[in-house]
Structure 1
Amino acid sequence: MNATDPIDRNRQIPLGVANGVAAGAVWGLVFLAPQLLKDFSAAQVSAGRYLAYGLIAALLLAPRWKAVAAMIGGAEWRALAGLSLLGNILYYLFLANAVWWAGGAAAALIVGLVPVVVSVAGTRFAGAIRFRRLAGPLALCLLGVVLVGWEALANDKTAHDPLTRAAGLACAFGALLSWTVYSVWNTRWLERRPDISGHDWSLLTGVTTGALALVLAVPAFLAPGQGGHGETDWGLFLGVSAGIAILASILGNGFWNRASRLLPLTLAGQMIVFETLFALLYGFVWEKRLPTGLEWIAIASLIAGVVWCARVHRAKGH
């Protein structure tokens, strides 16, 4: 436990799980953005979200900028740049293109493996729970992801040519890899710098992401054929971008950093399941329907896997 987080061990896992659930609840909203902004390109949606993230983060940090910046050296800025690129810009570009080129079903099935891959990666950390003790919880989570993907594939209306679909699948695996590396790397830096709060680390990530998004914004908005939107479209674009930046990026990343500090990576990885669960919930509300039988089983499997994983870690005394 970090010296700056004097939380009783009996409260550490429940509090960490609560922060993980909160992160998933706001991250799930991200999957509604493409639905609301379907007339804009993936690059425009991504650039808009992260420009807003950078601007709002900079405004929140402004009163304390000198004090916070004094704590950050060259190594930290380089890490923040890499984390911003992997966990934000590249991940979201990969995800959006995977959805459009390979279909939401295939993208969800591959990207949904993030919790399992991150948890497996966490077993390699010193003092981590052995993989065999996590095999059961991970199998349940994997079953839930497969069932979600199976149900979505059965209703997938994507009709792209094989080459486009292959490119979409490659993007889905790119999203899986980029977020896995981000999660492990971010956890390492949070452990290395316990004197920086998770909220401030999120805001610093936002400032860095906003700077990188400026590079993305030039081709996204100025390239030929990227215009043709009316005032109402742009008003919706700005509102959704700001809303997602505040909820998913600033609050969501802050919750996630807190969870990452309180939980071992083998359990923190499972918290990403809640992004899938809340994305499903919001999707049901958007489509005005109840889950199908397979979706109910998938939801139960995902929740049971996380609860089982938490019990394993509490029994070990993490």
Structure 2
Amino acid sequence: MSSSPPPASSIRRGIACGAAAGAFWGLVFLTPELVRDFTPGQLAAGRYLAYGLFAALLIAPRLRSLLPRLGWREWWALSWLSLLGNTLYYVLLAQAVQLGGMAMTALVIGFLPVAVTLVSRGGAGAVPLRRLALSLALGVAGIGCVGYESLAAVSLGGDAAGLARPGALLGFGCAVGALISWSIYAVANSRWLARRADLSAHDWSLLTGLATGAQALLLAIPAFVLTAADAGGAPAHSSEAWWRFIAVVTSVAILASIVGNAFWNRASRLLPSTMIGQMILFETLFALLYGFAWEQRGPSWLEAAAMVLVTASVLGSVRAHRVHAPAPAAHAA
């Protein structure tokens, strides 16, 4: 049984929410550069401890009414969704940024529209794959440019900005791992939101924060305690570095994990499953903007080509969905 595509008005609102989520999510690519002397595990633990704390504070007034509506299936889903979409994803992403740079990582993550489209086949409002063939081909070409540049950085001992990136290939591998992890999360999370339509997108985001915060408590042990033990108990960072770390992870927890996730969950309910992944374009573009500003450079020709190809891929997919959307007048308010 096929489902009708969403109305054009819902698509416009969904795109606006996707753009807002991308603007906030793009900040997570900058975080590993702001506190480079901390490990990816410490960044993930710190960010998600803060996320869990704020989520608990925000959901506390409604938790008593929500708990009876949640069974073990929901908590299990929240746990593995949190692992794929938050904890594991961010550890891999932070490692990719520190090893391969922000631009490379952002462009690999920009391949998410292609990956999510392929994973989400058969979902509600899905456009036939043949109508997305050109869009998918452009996305594959874009990621090919990024992969080639990463391999070139390894062979030349540097990247387009003239910076030594001896771990560029490993960074590329971590970025691909993050891509796979988040692709599965995006589709599964969208389906759970549809399954539990009685729960608001904001509440689902905060419940995800609770599950992620619990995972961060477990991650904090090897990330902080065991790291200090391996260092002989000597302080690895100054007090100034710790305060900067706390400020950065707290800010990204609020802006990316709470505000950004709320916009994303709203977009997930407004857009069809094959289109929601296309909204990652905004995260990619904002991350590139932040990254080039941080590195004080423009894109290399391969990065520029990848940006054009990925953008064309996403716009082509958006057009394929909008062409087959019903007229706004046919939609009851």
> TM-score if structure 1 supplies the norm length?
0.88
Once residues 307 and 220 of structure 1 are traced to their aligned partners in structure 2, the CA distance between those partners, rounded to angstroms, is 40
How far did residue 105 of structure 1 move?
A: 6.6
**Which whole-Å CA distance do the structure 1 matches of 2:245 and 2:108 have between them?**
28
Mark the CA change 1:26 to 1:126 in structure 2 (over 3 Å): closer, same or farther. closer
Which one is further off, 260-269 or 143-152?
143-152
Deviation, 1:130, is 1.0
> Which of 31, 34, 37 lines up with 2:35 in the alignment?
37
Report the alpha carbon displacement of residue 59 of structure 1 after superposing the two structures with TM.
0.7
Contact 1:58 1:207 (8 Å CA) reproduced: yes
Matched, 1:239 2:247: yes
Cα separation, 1, equivalents of 2:112 and 2:305:
20
Q: CA deviation at 1:170?
A: 4.7
Q: Which residue in the other structure is 2:330 paired with?
A: none
In structure 2, the residue matched to 1:183 is 186
**Counterpart amino acid of residue 217 in structure 2:** L
Contact between 1:43 and 1:220, CA under 8 Å: does it hold in 2? yes
CA distance in 1, matches of 2:256, 2:165: 28
Deviation at 1:66, TM superposition (A): 1.0
Pick closer, same or farther for the CA change 1:33–1:158 going to 2, 3 Å. same
The answer as to whether partners of 1:190 and 1:261 remain within 8 angstroms in 2 is yes
Bigger mean CA deviation after superposition, 293-302 or 201-210: 293-302
Counterpart in the other structure of 1:268: 276
Alpha-carbon shift at residue 127 of structure 1 (Å):
5.0
- Aligned mates of 1:247, 1:109 — CA distance in 2: 21
For residue 132 of structure 2, what is the aligned residue in structure 1?
134
**Whole-angstrom CA distance in 2 between matches of 1:94 and 1:175:** 5
Q: Quote the offset at 1:287 in angstroms.
A: 2.0
Once the 2 structures are TM-superposed, how far is the Cα of residue 306 of structure 1 from its aligned partner? 2.3
From the superposition, tell whether residues 99 and 64 of structure 1 become closer, same or farther in structure 2 (CA, over 3 Å): same
RMSD: 2.4
Alpha-carbon distance in 2 for matches of 1:298, 1:106:
10
Q: Structure 1 residues 169 and 280 mapped into 2: Cα distance closer, same or farther (>3 Å)?
A: closer
* Aligned residue type for 2:52: G
User: Is 1:75 the equivalent of 2:73?
Assistant: yes
Structure 1 residues 36 and 127 mapped into 2: Cα distance closer, same or farther (>3 Å)?
Answer: closer
Q: 1:117 to 1:42 in 2, by over 3 A?
A: same
Q: 2:87 aligns with which of 86, 89, 97?
A: 89
The equivalent position to 1:197 in structure 2, one of 193, 197, 200, is 200
**Paired AA for residue 53 in structure 2:** L
Residue among 212, 236, 240 paired with 2:215: 212
Which position in structure 1 is the counterpart of 2:20? 22
Where do 1:114-193 residues align within 5 Å? 114-125=112-123, 128-150=126-148, 153-154=152-153, 155-156=158-159, 157-160=164-167, 168=171, 170-193=173-196
Q: Report how many residues are paired.
A: 307
User: Equivalents in 2 of 1:106, 1:293: separation in Å?
Assistant: 13
Unaligned runs of 5+ in 2: 1-5, 327-333
CA deviation after TM superposition for structure 1 residue 136, in Å: 1.6
| Aligned residues of 1:108 and 1:149 also touching (Cα < 8 A) | no
Corresponding residue for 1:3? none
Aligned equivalents of 1:284, 1:73: Cα separation in 2: 45
Counterparts of 1:251 and 1:134, CA distance in 2: 31
Cα offsets for 1:134-191 (capped at 9, x unmatched): 112222333334445555655522224xxx955x555333322211111111011011
Deviation at 1:110, TM superposition (A): 4.4
Q: Is the 8 A contact 1:109 1:146 kept in 2?
A: no
1:58 to 51, 56, 59: 56
Q: Distance in 2 between matches of 1:296 and 1:107?
A: 14
How many angstroms does 1:38 deviate by? 0.6
Identity, in percent, stands at: 53
Do the aligned residues in 2 keep the contact of 1:105 with 1:149 (CA within 8 Å)? no
